Amino acid sequence: MDIKSIIQGIKDKSPRAIARAITLVENGDIWVDELLESLDKKSIDETMIFGITGPPGAGKSTLTGKIVGYLRSLGKRVGVIAIDPSSPISGGAIHGDRIRMMEHSLDGDVVIRSMATRGRLGGLCASAGAVCRILASSGCNPIIIETVGVGQSEIDIIKIADVTALVSAPGLGDDIQALKAGLMEVADIMVVNKADKPEAQMLAVELSEIARDKGTEVILTIAYEGKGVDKLYHAMEEIYKKQVELGTKQRKRWESRKKEIVDWVIEMIRPEIEKQVDSMDRDLDKDPRVVANSIVMGLKKERNP
Ligand SMILES: Nc1nc2c(ncn2[C@@H]2O[C@H](COP(=O)(O)OP(=O)(O)O)[C@@H](O)[C@H]2O)c(=O)[nH]1
Ligand SMILES: [Mg+2]
């Protein structure tokens, strides 16, 4: 497939063209800039990007699957980006997530892409941004990004989203503490899933107290029964619309773009630096920070000789 037919294929919603385009982005192909520049700016601007995050086991994938089902019933074309947090060692792709998404796998209007973190989140954030724009250009609206939210670095990924739902559930133990500490800042909506369990009410009360100051809504769901899913979706859409009215959506997008630019620059420079460092022998007894500084000085000199 040549670049022209990939570009046309994205417009024509061809699954093969979309997959090829994403692979080009992930492999850093030389044609990628031409491809990304050709994308439909209006669609990119108008596509809603929703984030679903929270600790493992909270029910994010189940919820995402049900939201997709709901959106399909409304006739919408949906993109899903599932960030796989597994290490290269476990290699454990999101097998369970694939199964939960299976019912949508034959639906041409559900574009699902899993992305692995492979230990480097900067590169992933950059690629995920580009993947979002490809999906938006192929007519997906909304796009849902599902990611585990445990560390600060994972939180960065979810900042690509315009509106983020933080999913928790009873019985997850200490994860709730981490959730309170780190993830509250990115949550536009709090979801207490597994509302079929009696302890869910307590958790909802607890989270409502924390969420009250920010005015964040708390929504109860039973993901595997699809209960509360439409309510959650419409709450996210409402927040998006409000953000558009207030101009906060655009501001958020610019911030996210700035971050993506930095991530891309680092990704692009990284191989050259790695090559330099790899071929190094005599400086290895020096302090690593000192060596790093001399490499950076060298880069600056190259630019302003
Ligand atoms: N009791 C109960 N279990 C649920 C509910 N939603 C999901 N689960 C189960 O919780 C487990 C984790 O779900 P999953 O969607 O993989 O969570 P994720 O790790 O956050 O993506 C699975 O076994 C689901 O079947 C719910 O509403 N109630
Ligand atoms: Mg999952």
Bridge partners (DSSP) of residue 81 are 113, 145
pTM given for the model: 0.90
Whether 28 is covered by a domain: the verdict is: yes
Q: Report which residue type is found at 257.
A: R
Q: Ligand 2 mean position to 252 CA, how many Å?
A: 26
Task: Read off the pLDDT of each residue in 73-81 and give the average, rounded to a whole number.
Answer: 96
List, in order, residues 6 or more apart from 202 with CB less than 8 Å away. 170
| pLDDT tens-digit readout, 142-180 | 999 998 866 665 677 788 999 999 999 998 876 566 666
Residues 88 and 164 in one domain: yes
User: Are 218 and 234 contained in the same domain?
Assistant: yes
Cβ of residue 96 lying under 6 Å from some atom of ligand 1: yes
Whether 183 shows a pLDDT value over 80: the answer reads no
47 shares a domain with 26: no
Question: Does residue 264 fall inside a structural domain?
Answer: no
Q: How many domains does the chain have?
A: 3
- Do 83 and 1 lie in one domain? The reply is no
State which of 10-14, 115-119, 268-272 shows the largest mean pLDDT.
Answer: 10-14
Say if residue 198 is preceded by a cis peptide, omega within 30 of 0: no
Q: Quick one: pLDDT band at residue 94, thresholds 50, 70, 90?
A: very low
Give residue 93's pLDDT: 41
Ligand 1 in reach of 92 Cβ (< 6 A) = no
Residue with tokens 């199964």: 99
DSSP 39: S
- Residues 243, 279 within the same domain: no
Does 263 map to a domain? no
Same domain for 211 and 79? yes
Q: Is the CB of 61 under 6 A from ligand 1?
A: yes
Q: What is the pLDDT of residue 103?
A: 66
Q: How far apart are CA 169 and CA 49, in angstroms?
A: 23
- Give me the chain's average pLDDT, please: 86
Binned at pLDDT 50, 70 and 90, residue 304 comes out as: confident
Q: Is position 49 within any domain?
A: yes
Please tell me whether residues 71 and 165 are part of one structural domain: yes
- Host H or E run for residue 148: strand 143-148
Query: For tokens 């585990």, what's the residue?
Result: 148
Residue-wise pLDDT tens digits, 280-293: 888 888 999 999 99
How much distance in Å is there from the Cα of 224 to the middle of ligand 1?
7
- C-alpha torsion sign, points 104, 81, 115, 108: positive
The pLDDT of residue 117: 65
Backbone torsions φ then ψ of 88, nearest 5 degrees: -65, -25
- Does any domain span residue 262? no
Helix or strand (DSSP H, E) at 193:
none
Q: What is the arithmetic mean of pLDDT over 258-265? A: 92
Q: What pLDDT was estimated at residue 80?
A: 94
Least confident interval from 113-117, 142-146, 198-202: 113-117
Closest CA to ligand 1's atom 13? 59
Q: How far apart are CA 221 and CA 287, in angstroms?
A: 53
User: Ligand 1 center to residue 205 CA distance, Å?
Assistant: 21
Region 54-77 average pLDDT: 93
**7 within ligand 1 shell (Cβ under 6 A):** no
172-198 burial string, b = 16+ CB within 10 Å, else e?
beebbeebeeebbebbbbbbbbbbeee
Residue nearest to atom 10 of ligand 1 (CA): 59
| Same domain as 83, residue 15 | no
Residues 70 and 213 grouped into a single domain: yes
Could you tell me which residue, 107 or 67, shows the higher pLDDT?
Answer: 67
- Are the beta carbons of 112 and 73 closer than 8 angstroms? no
CB 189 within 8 A of CB 219: yes
Q: Which residues pair with 52 in a beta bridge?
A: 146, 165
CATH of the domain at 241: 3.40.50.300
Q: Is 148 a domain residue?
A: yes
Max avg pLDDT among 224-228, 294-298, 299-303: 224-228
Segments forming the whole domain that contains residue 26? 1-38
Check whether residue 102 and residue 183 sit in a common domain.
yes
Same domain, 245 and 143: yes
- Range from 108-117, 148-157, 213-222 that averages highest in pLDDT: 213-222
Retrieve residue 77's tokens.
């074309």
Residues 228 and 237: beta-carbon distance below 8 Å: no
Task: Indicate the top mutation candidate among 199, 224, 225, 232 to test ligand 1's pocket, ranked by most ligand atoms within 8 A of CB.
Answer: 224
d(CA 88, CA 113): 18
Q: Is the CB of 220 under 6 A from ligand 1?
A: no
Residues 45 and 166 in one domain: yes
Residue of the CA atom closest to atom 8 of ligand 1: 59
- Could you please report the per-residue DSSP string of 55-114? STTSSHHHHHHHHHHHHHHTT--EEEEEEE---TTT----HHHHHHHGGGTT-TTEEEEE
Which comes out higher in pLDDT, residue 209 or 69? 69
Cα of 58 from ligand 1 centre, angstroms: 6
Q: Which residue has the higher pLDDT, 158 or 38?
A: 38
Q: What is the DSSP letter of 182?
A: I
